[in-house]
Homo-oligomer: A and B are copies of this chain.
Amino acid sequence: MHELVQDLFLRYLGNSLLAARDDAAVWPVPGLGTGRLAVTTDSYVVSPIFFPGGDIGKLAVCGTVNDLAMVGAEPLALTAGFILEEGLSLSDLEQVVASMAEAAREAGVAVAAGDTKVVDRGKADQIFINTAGVGRVRDGTHLSGANARPGDVVLVSGTVGEHGLAVLSVREGLEFSFPLASDCAALNELVAEMLSCGGVLRCLRDPTRGGLATTLNEIALQSGVGIEIEESAVPVSEGVRAACELLGLDPLYAACEGRLVAVASPESEGVLLETLRRNRLGRQAARIGRVTAGPTGRVILETAYGGRRILDMLSGAQLPRIC
């Protein structure tokens, strides 16, 4: 098993860093002296491991690349740690690893170090993957959830909730007549375009666990500002809308894995939306609201029917194992 796995990883993820087979990968990073390092980590325990639009492998790459991108970092390298349940089918594992490799190639980043542990049947659930990422942030780029200022605009790069609903639907064995696939995608190129378009970006965040509503609340809290969102401006696909109605869920709380929320200076709205929409991953970008002086830490939703209500953090149990 160990050899098969190692062989499989080398075959799909192989590069000169992995091939050196030392305890850690070492490589020169010319010019890093002028930038800053970024590191991040995420464990992926999504169930089921295959879902429309992706699988746990693709998710593990895109999710971590996106976490780097959200601080404006270009990915320098990923690491991947696998915990495998005894009895996991090798073809499933192969499919996952192949999909990781493809996602890494598309994002232009290498998996520079890896590790595998196997535990007894019943001591894990098929496969868990941890990916950590190392990136470089250029001088002059300073993105943080603490940077939002009253008057700023709030943008979203596309429709929300596809990932959460796609995973949930297959888990529950639901079939819909409309297409519903995860939005899982690496956003680093899109972010690079946003960073170089001339707009003034304060904050980027990908609305994963807890969805758009939770992400906005985090930004409002971190920055000590209020945020007002127009419900009718938030792009939601027909598929997500219908699935949410059927399941009694709110798309604003459903996870995305290939979308971003941007807070930017009001003057930047035009150039940022233009930049976003030129990229296939930002085609449906929209301005969804603005930052206010208060009430601090609160997100207010202007509903489609003209009312105003507090859009809270997700209360109660989050959808489990969505990523």
Give the interface of A toward B (CB within 8 A): 20-34, 36-45, 66-68, 70-71, 73, 76-77, 79-83, 112-120, 122-125, 128, 130, 132-135, 137, 143-146, 205-206, 218, 222, 320-321
Contacts and interface: CB of A to CB of B under 8 A. Distances in A.
A117 B67 CA distance: 16
| Residue of A28, A118, A124 with most partner-chain B CB within 10 A | A124
A43 B134 contact: no
A11 B40 CA distance: 19
A222 to B, nearest CB: 7
Nearest to A204: B23
A45 B116 CA distance: 10
Contact of A41 (B40, B45, B114): B114
Contacts of A42: 81, 115
The 3 closest A-B pairs by CB, nearest first: A33-B33, A132-B132, A41-B79
A145 B41 contact: no
B134 A134 contact: yes
Say whether chain A's binding surface is mostly helix, strand, loop, or mixed.
Answer: strand
Nearest to A120: B320
Contacts of A112: 39
9 contacts: A21-B218, A26-B36, A26-B137, A27-B36, A32-B33, A40-B113, A45-B119, A81-B132, A117-B321
B120 A123 contact: no
Contact of A39 (B24, B83, B118): B24
Contacts of A30: 33
B123 A37 contact: no
Contacts of A28: 36
Contacts of A143: 22
A39 B205 contact: no
B70 A130 contact: no
A167 B80 CA distance: 26
B38 A26 contact: yes
Given A79-B132, A130-B81, A29 B37 contact: yes
Contact of A79 (B25, B39, B76, B83): B39
B37 A32 contact: yes
B120 A122 contact: no
| Residue of A22, A133, A206 with most partner-chain B CB within 10 A | A22
A159 to B, nearest CB: 21
Contacts of A320: 118-120
B41 A130 contact: yes
Contacts of A130: 41, 43, 81, 115, 130, 132
A120 B171 CA distance: 15
Nearest to A128: B83
A134 B37 contact: yes
B81 A115 contact: no
Contact of A122 (B43, B44, B80, B122): B122
Contact of A123 (B125, B144, B218): B125
A138 to B, nearest CB: 11
